[in-house]
């Protein structure tokens, strides 16, 4: 049996991205870049919807329905244009921001039917996603707020004036940047999960960007 080999080349934009991926590997280990390069070459969207209890309580069933209706497929299927696959999965570890969906390498949290449809439609049209990657934490009544259990040495900065920033470590590996947003004495902050690159010179920053 003879296997037909088809030549493949990236376009100009993706050639630059591919080169940046390869640069991350040592000279003797360039072959290790094969998986991220394959991910780049496929350019498909794998939508994984968390339906574990916290997300289910916050409406993940409706998110599933919205995805199925928009893509005209059921979970476990691939769209007719082969660009989207849809599955239900177990916990994505972002319960306080439920409902949560992972698309390829990116998390989308605090979703509504409208926001997930907007995300899918922008991906269909190859439009740049400018949905903000941030999370507001407002007052001690907000269970997701760092100060939900009161004022401690760790949360003291949240009770300060707006404009202060602080960083905390989660899962032992991610440093999260937060900005205090309210008047002194009222604990509130915004967690910044991603940034939108404005300057073309900095479009290949390391870290989470949108």
Domain count, the chain: 2
Token pair listed for 56: 């289910």
pLDDT tens string 185-203? 999 888 776 655 555 554 4
Q: Which CATH number goes with the domain that contains 122?
A: 3.40.30.10
Q: Which of 127-136, 156-165, 175-184 has the lowest mean pLDDT?
A: 127-136
pLDDT tens string 91-145? 887 787 789 999 887 888 888 899 899 999 988 887 666 544 556 678 888 776 7
Within a domain: 114: yes
Do 34 and 1 touch, CB atoms closer than 8 A?
no
Q: Quick one: 94 and 119 in the same domain?
A: yes
Q: Quick one: 118 and 153 in the same domain?
A: no
Within a domain: 79: yes
CA-closest candidate to residue 34, choices 44, 46, 25: 25
Q: Quick one: 107 and 138 in the same domain?
A: no
What was the pLDDT predicted at 200?
52
**Total Cβ atoms within 10 A of residue 51:** 20
Do 158 and 103 touch, CB atoms closer than 8 A?
no
Q: Quick one: 103 and 118 in the same domain?
A: yes
Q: Quick one: 48 and 126 in the same domain?
A: yes
Domain that holds residue 167: 134-192
Question: In the predicted model, what is the mean pLDDT of the chain?
Answer: 81
What b-and-e string marks burial along 156-169, b requiring 16 or more CB atoms within 10 Å of the CB? ebbbeeeeeebeee
Q: Quick one: 64 and 110 in the same domain?
A: yes
What was the pLDDT predicted at 135?
62
**Total Cβ atoms within 10 A of residue 152:** 10
The last residue of one of the domains, among 112, 131, 150, is 131
Q: Quick one: 185 and 114 in the same domain?
A: no
Is the pLDDT reported for residue 210 higher than 50? no
Q: Judge if the upstream peptide bond of residue 123 is cis by omega within 30 degrees of 0.
A: no
Within a domain: 101: yes
DSSP tally for the chain: helices H, then strands E = 5, 8
Q: Quick one: 145 and 126 in the same domain?
A: no
Q: Quick one: 57 and 127 in the same domain?
A: yes
Is the pLDDT reported for residue 8 higher than 80? no
Do 185 and 159 touch, CB atoms closer than 8 A?
yes
pLDDT band at 209 (very low <50, low <70, confident <90, very high): very low
Within a domain: 106: yes
Q: How many residues does the chain have?
A: 210
């Amino acid at each position: 049996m003879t296997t037909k080999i088809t030549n493949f080349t990236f376009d100009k934009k993706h050639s630059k991205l591919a080169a940046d991926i390869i640069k991350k590997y040592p000279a003797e280990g360039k072959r290790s870049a094969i998986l991220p390069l394959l991910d780049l070459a496929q350019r498909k969207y794998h939508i994984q919807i968390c339906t574990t209890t916290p997300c289910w309580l916050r409406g993940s069933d409706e998110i599933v329905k919205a995805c199925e209706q928009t893509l005209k497929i059921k979970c476990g299927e691939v769209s007719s244009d082969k660009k989207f696959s849809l599955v239900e999965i177990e916990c994505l570890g972002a319960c306080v921001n439920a409902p949560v969906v992972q698309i390829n390498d990116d998390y989308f949290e605090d979703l509504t039917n409208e926001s997930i449809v907007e995300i899918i439609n922008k991906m269909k049209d190859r439009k740049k996603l400018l949905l903000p990657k941030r999370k507001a934490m407002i007052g001690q009544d907000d269970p997701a707020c760092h100060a939900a259990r009161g004022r401690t040495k760790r949360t003291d900065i949240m009770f300060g004036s707006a404009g202060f920033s602080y960083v905390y470590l989660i899962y032992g590996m991610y440093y999260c940047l937060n900005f205090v947003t309210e008047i002194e004495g009222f604990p509130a902050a915004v967690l910044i999960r991603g940034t939108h690159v404005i300057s073309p010179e900095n479009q290949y920053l390391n870290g989470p960007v949108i």
